[in-house]
Amino acid sequence: MFYCPKCGAETRDEELYCVSCGSKLPTDTDERFNEPSEKGFNKWWLAPLSTLILVLLIAIIIHFYLDYQQDKAVETYEEGIELALEGQYLNAKEKFRQSLEYKSNFTAASDSMEFMDIAIEVNEELNAVDSMIEEQSFQQAINLTQDIESQLNKYNGEVINELLSDILEKRNEIKISQVKYQLEDDSSIDELKMQLYQVESINTDEAGQLEDQMKERIVNHSFNRANEELNQNHFSNALAVVNDALKYVPDNERLESLKTTIEKQQVAFETEQQERIQQALNQYEIEQENNANDAVELIGIETDRNDNDELIVSGQIKSIATVPIYSISVKYILTDQESDEVLAENETFLYPETLYPEETGQFEYTHFEIEDDVTVDVNIEQIQWYLEGQ
């Protein structure tokens, strides 16, 4: 027996090649029986050890590279999501495409990139709504927003919520534009009430301003109509008009005051009818006495125009009576300043409905029929009132 000089394995004398490493054995007898040095390095382990180290190094490099690709894919995908939430769909789509370059099997990025095409199309369709609004094609615009919304029903997520929010905002814009257009067309009181419900459901500053404008017009129309009914002693009709208006403009001071006036006027009128014959002379004397005592003082009266160029007659009256007075009415005539032509005669009531001594009340009436290019003079014909307890 001797040792292989290359790998150190034990070898038989008759063998010409090492059974372990396959190398040719020496034929010289001295060389065959030389035992391997205990201090020598076994070169047989060098190749597999080097291979193992190389494999581990490649595996580590691949691992870190894949982690880097994964991190960059997620980072780019999240940037795309932020852009999509801001409505920058084209830029978001590019970010999703870049994310797929880092990780080709990134399903979320692939789906998001496909959805960006839908979002871009929806955004273009919403832009088309603006042209429809300018053309007053309001119903067509509403139908388009409904079609767009139905396309998104099968999707969900933050971007979808943003798109749905944009659709709702655009639909509210359509409604506001439609109401403004109809207001310019001098809508009837019934149309105003129907439109008011639509505007009240929209929570924007513009809608709030439009709501105030509509309520003011409802108050003016209702006040004038009820005032006309009251002047003809149609108390039930006048109350019905005021009560209906208060459903849309609750707690309105002018309407509430007019309602109280109507109710008291009705009681006074019915009492007056029952006692007309017996109290005719007394009533005349009382009225003469009140006129002689000058129970009220006119502080001032003026005319103005509102944003719709409608003529507003307003003024103030002070009570100089020693007892409360109520149902104070003012009769006046409007004339053309240039031609002295009588343009209108009217009677309206003060609010608050009851004036105590030294208190001041106001009256206001909107005339819709007076042209805006006419200069108007207003002249008081008569101021009438009732004493508390009368």
Q: Is residue 33 part of a domain?
A: yes
Concatenated DSSP letters for 20-67? TT-PBPP-SHHHHTPPPPTTS--GGGHHHHHHHHHHHHHHHHHHHHHH
| 229 and 203 assigned to the same domain | yes
Tell me the C-alpha to C-alpha distance, in Å, between residue 382 and each of 283, 296, 353, 385.
17, 11, 17, 10
| 244 and 129 assigned to the same domain | no
Mean pLDDT of 362-384: 90
Look at residue 115 in the predicted model and tell me its pLDDT.
76
pLDDT score of 267 more than 80 = yes
Distance of CA 30 to the CA centre of its chain: 104
Instruction: Write out the residue range of the structural domain in which residue 14 sits.
Output: 1-37
pLDDT band at 169, cuts 50/70/90?
confident
pLDDT band at 146, cuts 50/70/90?
confident
pLDDT score of 357 more than 80 = yes
Contacts of 236 (CB under 8 A, 6+ apart): none
Look at residue 185 in the predicted model and tell me its pLDDT.
64
| 198 and 264 assigned to the same domain | yes
| 159 and 72 assigned to the same domain | yes
Q: Is residue 145 part of a domain?
A: yes
pLDDT 10s digits, 56-75? 777 777 666 656 667 777 77
| 59 and 130 assigned to the same domain | yes
Look at residue 270 in the predicted model and tell me its pLDDT.
85
- CATH code for the domain of 348: 2.60.40.3230
Q: Which two tokens stand for residue 128?
A: 């088309």
| 24 and 59 assigned to the same domain | no
Instruction: Report the mean per-residue pLDDT for the chain.
Output: 79
Q: Is residue 286 part of a domain?
A: no
| 59 and 180 assigned to the same domain | yes
Instruction: Give dist(CA 13, CA 29) in Å, integer.
Output: 9
Question: Total domain count for the chain?
Answer: 4
Look at residue 1 in the predicted model and tell me its pLDDT.
60
Tell me the C-alpha to C-alpha distance, in Å, between residue 253 and each of 174, 218, 263, 361.
32, 14, 15, 12
Look at residue 234 in the predicted model and tell me its pLDDT.
92
| 181 and 193 assigned to the same domain | no
Mean pLDDT of 317-323: 86
Is 0.85 topped by the overall pTM? no
Look at residue 33 in the predicted model and tell me its pLDDT.
47
Cα dihedral 74, 77, 82, 87, rounded to 10, equals -170
